[in-house]
Chains A and B, each alone.
Chain A
Amino acid sequence: MTLWLIIIGMGMITYAIRLSLIVLLGRVGVPVIVQRALRFVPPAVLSAIIFPELLRPGGTLDISPGNARLIAGVVAALVAWRTKNVILTIAVGMAALWILQAFVR
Chain B
Amino acid sequence: MPSPRSEFLSGVKAESPILLGTMPFGLIYGVLALSAGLPADVALAMSSIVFAGSAQFIGAQLIGSGTPGIVILLTTFVVNLRHMLYSASVAPHLKHLRPVWKWLLAYLLTDEAYAVAITHYNQPEEGDALHLSGASHLANKHWYFLGAGLTLWVTWQVSTAAGIFLGAQVPKSWALDFTLPLTFIALVVPALKDRPSLAAAVSAGAVAVLAADLPFKLGLILAALIGIFAGLFVEARRRSTIGIPQPRDAGRKQSEIT
- CA–CA, A2 and B39, complex, Å: 13
B150 within 8 A of A: no
Q: A10-B55, A40-B231 are in contact. Are A20 and B84 (CB under 8 A)?
A: yes
- Give B197-214 interface residues, CB cut-off 8 Å to A: 197-198, 200-209, 212
Find the A residue at minimum CB distance from B192: A43
> What is the total number of residues of chain B having a CB less than 8 Å from a CB of chain A?
95
Interface window among B3-11, B15-23, B125-133, B155-163: B15-23
Of the candidates A4, A11, A19, A23, the one whose C-beta lies within 8 Å of that of B42 is A4
A9 within 8 A of B: yes
Contact residues in A for B90 (Cβ distance below 8 Å): 22
B27 within 8 A of A: no
Contact residues in A for B63 (Cβ distance below 8 Å): 3, 6
- CA–CA, A37 and B231, complex, Å: 8
Interface residues on A, range: 35 or more
B208 touches A97 (CB 8 A): no
- CA–CA, A15 and B48, complex, Å: 11
Contact residues in B for A34 (Cβ distance below 8 Å): 88
CB distance from B102 to the nearest CB of A (A): 5
CB distance from B62 to the nearest CB of A (A): 9
**15 other A-B residue contacts (CB within 8 Å) besides A20-B84, A44-B227:** A9-B73, A17-B77, A18-B87, A19-B103, A19-B106, A36-B235, A42-B115, A43-B257, A44-B225, A48-B82, A49-B208, A50-B184, A89-B189, A90-B186, A97-B175
| Nearest 10 interchain pairs by C-beta | A44-B227, A51-B205, A40-B231, A86-B17, A25-B91, A11-B49, A89-B186, A80-B189, A48-B223, A19-B106
Question: Can you list 30 A-B contacts (CB < 8 A)?
Answer: A7-B45, A15-B107, A18-B107, A21-B88, A36-B232, A38-B88, A40-B227, A42-B115, A42-B191, A43-B204, A43-B231, A44-B226, A45-B227, A46-B188, A47-B188, A47-B205, A49-B220, A52-B208, A53-B180, A69-B178, A73-B182, A76-B186, A80-B189, A90-B20, A93-B178, A93-B182, A94-B178, A97-B175, A97-B178, A98-B175
